[in-house]
DNA sequence: AAGAATGAAAA
DNA sequence: TTTTCATTCTT
């Protein structure tokens, strides 16, 4: 059970990466095969599949021309855009996402008109790729805990229309939107969507669980704020959007079109849908997130104020490798001082958008470079541990899912909590020199190629960035090398050398103070 | 105004 | 099973 290789035997490659133009693009640009995909202990360094990994198919699809027609098979899940997604079921996932609607593709092959050559091929989820960007992440705790009052204000702003609560993915996308834009050089939000969509299934189950919890919170708080709300989509393909709630004459449809349920949404496509609810003033405090791990350690221990580590995202629930641990009750304490970190009751700040960076663009590459360049590789959590295959926690896997449990444990069941405790992080060898550096040049070249390709058609990039672009000292180099840095760190053999709280960037991205961002 | 994404909920 | 709609903002 030492080497967890492939297992994957289900979906033939053709259905995996159906019409992935990115693949072809990348194939044309450079051989992706040599790309240091960190997976499956490829280097014999004890790095096993950790949940981020792009998957075996990633390497194989190049050789196998797509046959877009074919449908999903045993375990192939493909997105609406035709991309394939991995099965992210971790045995730990309470998600209980039993069977994803099997007959996905039926009629309309939704052909995406997007030119995906402008899209980077993700080799890791955004939580990894962007972890070192100084672009702040949206404070989702604060967001989903917006007070009912705030929510009603939003409704008023929308002219009385109550929008749906965001689902987990929407939350995810919004959480990473700015970072995604920084990472990709594109500023197009469609790219953000695409990239997010590609990243989402790559995210470790813990991360997605986190966003699911947030989505649940969002729904609950939404319901609390708008008790009478009920989702009632319009039947007609009436694209009416945004602000307007009622009073639209030009509205089509309704009973005139022989609409069966005329009264369902009488007059306007969406006006009647939501009756305005009485402004009940019994302001209910939003549900506090008492979900196990979703509270953010950095509320308790402030790091730089807003820059949250990837680890906390990718590994919610696990003790921080550095010096933060949690009691059974979830109370964070410092393992080095043996003192409790200030209890994080985190009553939502008065204002929701703690880190909502709206107009923010990419921070000056200079500052990014200056700071991040120095940083040692702070390994990202989640990599498998050396010899970490003996998951003796079979009891934990009782959540029988149809399928082949054993294999899945091996390949995806990496986050073994027992193993992630103490032993691995703290007391493992402080710092051994990394093994020979990964083939950065190739990776770098590939990404450079991507960047070039991206900039070919039109340079819709911040002017200030373009200089860096040509001068190669931009952040694109940076974030990419950071991605490689993950690898390097992983190459240490599972050494989780994390300096979260000791990050030297006390003045990290000074221009990015949340307050300023809100302007 | 279209569109890029996933998921919840309704038809 | 299929459709709508949450978000966002460039094109």
DSSP A126-176: HHHHTTT--SPPP-HHHHHT--HHHHHHHHHHTTTPPPPPP-HHHHHHHHH
Q: What is the pLDDT of residues A45-68, one digit of tens each?
A: 222 233 343 333 332 222 222 223
The first and second tokens of residue A26, run together, are: 């990348």
Q: Across chain A, what does the average pLDDT equal? A: 47
The segment with the largest mean pLDDT, out of A186-195, A197-206, A257-266, A364-373, is A197-206
Asked whether residue A335 carries a pLDDT value surpassing 50, the answer given is no
Lowest-confidence range among A171-180, A188-197, A490-499?
Answer: A490-499
The residue ranking higher by pLDDT, A463 or A156, is A156
The Cα–Cα gap between A498 and A425 comes to 8
pLDDT for A14 equals 28
Query: Nearest residue to nucleotide C11 when comparing alpha carbons to its C1'?
Result: A188
Q: Can you give the distance from the CA of residue A428 to the C1' of nucleotide C7 in angstroms?
A: 43
CB A233 within 7 Å, strand C: yes
Q: What is the pLDDT of residues A304-320, one digit of tens each?
A: 222 333 334 444 333 32
CB A81 within 7 Å, strand C: no
CB A334 within 7 Å, strand C: no
pLDDT for A491 equals 30
- Determine the number of helices (DSSP H) and then strands (DSSP E) in chain A: 18, 5
Asked whether residue A475 carries a pLDDT value surpassing 90, the answer given is no
- Considering only residues 259-298 of chain A, list those whose CB is below 7 Å from strand B: 261, 264
Closest CA to A86 of A112, A62, A106, A58: A58
What nucleotides of chain C have any atom within 7 angstroms of a protein Cβ? 1-11
CB A352 within 7 Å, strand C: no
Task: Say what the alpha-carbon torsion angle A328, A330, A332, A334 is, to the nearest 10 degrees.
Answer: 20
How many residues does this entry show for chain A?
519
User: Does pTM top 0.75 for this prediction?
Assistant: no
Contact, A514 vs A354, CB < 8 A?
Answer: yes
What's the Cα-to-Cα distance from A186 to each of A183, A293, A421, A461, rounded to whole Å? 8, 33, 39, 7
Residue A190: which nucleotide is closest by CA–C1'?
A: B4
């Amino acid at each position: 059970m030492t080497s967890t290789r492939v297992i994957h035997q289900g979906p033939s490659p053709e259905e995996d990466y159906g019409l992935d133009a990115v693949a072809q693009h990348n194939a044309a640009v450079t051989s992706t095969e040599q790309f240091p995909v960190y997976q499956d202990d490829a280097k014999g360094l004890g790095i096993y599949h950790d949940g981020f990994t792009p998957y075996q198919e990633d390497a194989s699809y190049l050789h196998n021309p797509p046959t877009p027609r074919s449908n999903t098979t045993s375990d192939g899940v493909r997105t609406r855009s035709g991309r394939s997604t991995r099965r992210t079921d971790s045995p730990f996932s309470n998600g209980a996402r039993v069977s994803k609607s099997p007959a996905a593709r039926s009629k309309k092959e939704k052909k995406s008109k997007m030119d995906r050559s402008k899209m980077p091929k993700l080799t890791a989820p955004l939580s990894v790729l962007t972890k070192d960007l100084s672009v702040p992440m949206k404070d989702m705790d604060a967001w989903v805990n917006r007070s009912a009052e705030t929510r009603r204000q939003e409704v008023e702003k929308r002219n009385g229309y109550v929008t749906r609560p965001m689902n987990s993915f929407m939350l995810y996308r919004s959480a990473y939107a700015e970072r995604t834009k920084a990472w990709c050089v594109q500023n197009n939000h469609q790219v953000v969507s695409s990239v997010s969509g590609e990243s989402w299934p790559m995210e470790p189950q813990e991360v997605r669980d986190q966003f699911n919890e947030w989505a649940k919170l969002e729904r609950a708080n939404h319901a609390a704020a708008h008790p009478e709300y009920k989702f009632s989509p319009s039947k007609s393909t009436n694209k009416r959007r945004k602000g307007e709630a009622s009073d639209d004459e030009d509205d089509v449809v309704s009973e005139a079109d022989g609409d069966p349920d005329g009264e369902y949404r009488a007059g306007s496509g969406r006006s009647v849908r939501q009756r305005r609810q009485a402004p009940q003033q019994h302001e209910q405090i939003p549900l506090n997130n008492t979900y196990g791990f979703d509270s953010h350690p950095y509320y308790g221990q402030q790091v730089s104020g807003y820059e949250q580590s990837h680890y906390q995202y990718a590994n919610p629930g696990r003790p921080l490798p550095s010096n933060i641990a949690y009691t059974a009750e979830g109370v964070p304490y410092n393992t080095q001082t043996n003192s409790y970190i200030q209890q994080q009751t985190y009553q939502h700040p008065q204002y929701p958008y703690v880190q909502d960076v709206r107009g923010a663009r990419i921070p000056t590459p200079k500052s990014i470079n200056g700071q991040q360049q120095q940083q040692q590789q702070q390994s990202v959590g989640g990599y498998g541990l050396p010899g970490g295959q003996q998951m003796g926690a079979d009891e934990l896997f009782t959540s029988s899912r149809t399928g082949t449990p054993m294999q899945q444990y091996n390949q995806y069941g990496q986050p073994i909590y027992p193993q992630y405790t103490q032993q691995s992080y703290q007391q493992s060898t402080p710092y051994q020199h990394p093994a020979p550096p990964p083939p950065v040049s190739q990776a770098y070249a590939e990404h450079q190629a991507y960047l070039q390709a991206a900039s070919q058609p039109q340079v819709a990039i911040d002017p200030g960035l373009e200089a860096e672009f040509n001068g190669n000292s931009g952040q694109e180099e940076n974030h990419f090398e950071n991605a490689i840095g993950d690898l390097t760190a992983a190459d240490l053999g599972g050494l989780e050398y994390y300096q979260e709280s000791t990050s030297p960037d006390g003045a990290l991205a000074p221009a990015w103070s949340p307050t300023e961002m809100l302007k």
